[in-house]
Amino acid sequence: MGQGTIELMPVGRPTRKGRLLPSCMAAFLSVLVMVTGPTVFAQTRIKDVADVEGVRSNQLVGYGIVVGLNGTGDKLNNSVFTRESLIGMLERLGVNTRDQARSMDTKNVAAVMVTSNMPPFVKAGERIDVSVAALGDATNLTGGTLLVTSLLGADGEVHAVAQGTLATGAIAVRGAAQSITRGVPTSGRIANGATVEKEIPFELARMATPRLGLRNPDLTTAIRIAAAVNREMGAGVAKASDPRTVALNLQGRDVVEALSRIEQLHVEPDNGAKVVIDEASGIIVMGSNVTISTVAIAQGNLTIRVTEAPEVSQPAPLSNGQTVVVPRTSVSVDDQSNRRLGILPRAVTLQELVRNMNALGVGPRDMISILQAIKAAGALQADLEVR
More confidently predicted of 102 and 335: 102
Q: Are 280 and 367 part of one and the same domain?
A: yes
Residue 322 lies in a domain: no
Q: Are 214 and 246 part of one and the same domain?
A: yes
Q: Are 259 and 360 part of one and the same domain?
A: no
Q: What is the pLDDT of residues 325-343, one digit of tens each?
A: 777 666 565 555 555 555 5
More confidently predicted of 200 and 19: 200
Residue 154 lies in a domain: yes
Three-state secondary structure of 223-252: HHHHHHHHHHHCCCCEEEEECCEEEECCCC
Helix (H/G/I), strand (E/B), else coil: 67: strand
Q: What is the pLDDT of residues 18-55, one digit of tens each?
A: 444 444 434 333 333 333 344 444 689 999 999 999 89
- Residue 302 pLDDT more than 70? no
Residue 26 lies in a domain: no
Q: Are 64 and 171 part of one and the same domain?
A: yes
Q: pTM for the whole thing?
A: 0.65
Beginning with the edge strand found earlier in the chain, give each strand of the sheet holding 238-242 in spatial order: 50-52, 211-214, 245-248, 238-242
Residue 299 lies in a domain: yes
Q: Are 170 and 112 part of one and the same domain?
A: yes
Q: Are 68 and 136 part of one and the same domain?
A: yes
Last residue of a domain, one of 173, 196, 219: 196
In angstroms, the CA 28 to CA 9 distance is 9
Residue 314 lies in a domain: no
Q: Are 298 and 343 part of one and the same domain?
A: yes
Mean of the per-residue pLDDT values for the chain? Answer: 78
Q: Are 209 and 187 part of one and the same domain?
A: no
Instruction: Write out the residue range of the structural domain in which residue 248 sits.
Output: 205-267
Residue 30 lies in a domain: no
Residue 16 lies in a domain: no
Residue 189 lies in a domain: yes
Helix (H/G/I), strand (E/B), else coil: 188: strand
Report the half-sphere exposure of 301 (CA within 13 A, side-chain side).
Answer: 7
pLDDT of 48 reads 93
DSSP code of residue 161: E
pLDDT of 19 reads 44
Q: What is the pLDDT of residues 113-132, one digit of tens each?
A: 999 999 999 999 999 999 99
Query: Among 246, 269, 220, which Cα is nearest to 42's?
Result: 269
Question: CA angle, 371 as apex, 367 and 376 as ends, to 5°?
Answer: 145
**How many domains is the chain built from?**
3
Q: Are 65 and 153 part of one and the same domain?
A: yes
DSSP code of residue 339: P
